Structure 1
Amino acid sequence: MSASASGNRTAEARRYTWRVVDIVVASVIGVACAVIFLVWNIGYELPSSLLGPLLPGLGGLLAGPWLIAGVIGGLVVRKPGAAIYTELLAAVISALVGNRWGPLTIVSGLVQGLGAEIVLAIFLYRAFGPAVAALSGAAAGLAAGVNDSLVWYAAADGAFKAIYIVSTTVSGAVVAGLGGWAVVRALAATGALGRFAAGRDVARRV
């Protein structure tokens, strides 16, 4: 094996290996998003009461804020497992603090994080633009919709489930995906992500 090939393999392995700073920042993102979850656990009730009567299942459009942790974590850390870790951590904190969904919140966090993670993995953790962010958020929303339909709405009819799953997917793409991408861009512009590729990407464009 040539020195060049060995060096390339080493660099590739390093690109996928978590650093201490990755763990710290991913944890901070998870905790910050947990605060969003806790606020939205209450805040969603009013818009939900307005959307429900319009069309059963349309309440899935409100899922986005609960999906954003995985997208932001994945876009910032850019390492395997980042989306799952941040989404799951935020869900665990939400469950521990207390909400109406209890321990099943953790299951939701795992499923949603996995949805976001799968898309980033498909692109080999090399693409992090708005389109990929939207797809990642949409996958998280799709996972959330399917999980909720099985766990919370098992007795609902097919039309409700279809509308709900489409709604969570759209909310995931727009709110969590594009919204998460915008949040990362804004953070990078402040210099807070200078030790990450996400921060350097923005710096190069300025």
Structure 2
Amino acid sequence: MNWKMKEIVLTVILSVACGVIYLGWSTLWIPVSALVGPVGAGFMFGIWVIASPIVAYIIRKPGAAFIAEVAAAAVELLTGSHFGLTALLVGVFQGIGSEIAFALFRYKHYNLFTLMLSGALAAIVGMVYNILANGFGFYTTGVFLTTLGIHIISGIILGGWLAKVVVDALAKTGVLESYELMKEKRNKDDIHGNISGM
């Protein structure tokens, strides 16, 4: 599928915005992690993958989720994340995980379940990066499973569910009228209207 210029522009704008949010979230992670420990701070994970479902939900094209996450991670890196290059590298893995969720349904379903699955798979594939970067001996079995579980739950809620809330709120303002999200909503409304009128 070819991307329209307006879709590219919106993806860039949203990715930059999410990247800045990621940077702020990374800064907040430091004191939170000091208070509750790195494992406990895992509840913050979902925000770091929200770019993927937000952009994919609006644009609805193959590659949208991956591109958005990598771009947002790049912005986080370039704006001074204390995670350094890791911010970008883990973003690549998270983007792959998120993209898989939409690919599983052949890019035809963009409902709440798919968005939440996107957050969950971003957490799982992101953890693959952590294992590759830190080695298998970095985690005990209990710490690994606890961290993974917290990341998955956070990815589902702060990644997938929150992304839908944000985009639906934006849609109500009318700024997304010319994008695939609204075209599909209008088609559904037309179908429901025709059925009701029969």
Q: TM-score, normalization: structure 2? A: 0.87
Matches of 1:158 and 1:122, distance apart in 2 = 29
Which structure 2 segments of 5+ residues have no match? 190-198
Match of 1:71 in 2: 53
Q: How many percent of aligned residue pairs carry the same amino acid? A: 32
**Amino acid aligned to 2:29:** Y
Q: TM-score, normalization: structure 1? A: 0.84
Match of 2:2 among 7, 17, 24: 17
Match of 2:171 among 188, 192, 197: 188
Q: Deviations over 1:61-115 (max 9, x none)?
A: 2111111011111111111111111111111111112122211211111111111
**Amino acid aligned to 2:80:** G
Contact 2:73/2:88, CA 8 A, preserved across alignment: yes
Match of 1:134 in 2: 116
Q: Deviations over 1:111-164 (max 9, x none)?
A: 111111011011111111111111111111222233224324752212111111
1:27-66 correspondence runs (5 A): 27-52=12-37, 57-66=39-48
Match of 1:165 in 2: 148
Matched, 1:91 2:76: no
Q: Deviations over 1:24-54 (max 9, x none)?
A: 11111100101111110111233333332xx
Where in structure 1 do 4 or more consecutive aligned residues deviate above 4 Å? 201-205
Which has the larger share of helix? Answer: 2
Which range moves more in the overlay, 187-196 or 41-50?
Answer: 41-50
Q: What is the RMSD of the two structures over their aligned residues, measured on CA atoms?
A: 1.9
| Corresponding residue pairs, total | 188
Match of 1:111 in 2: 93
Which structure 1 segments of 5+ residues have no match? 1-15
Q: Deviations over 1:154-182 (max 9, x none)?
A: 52212111111111111101110000111
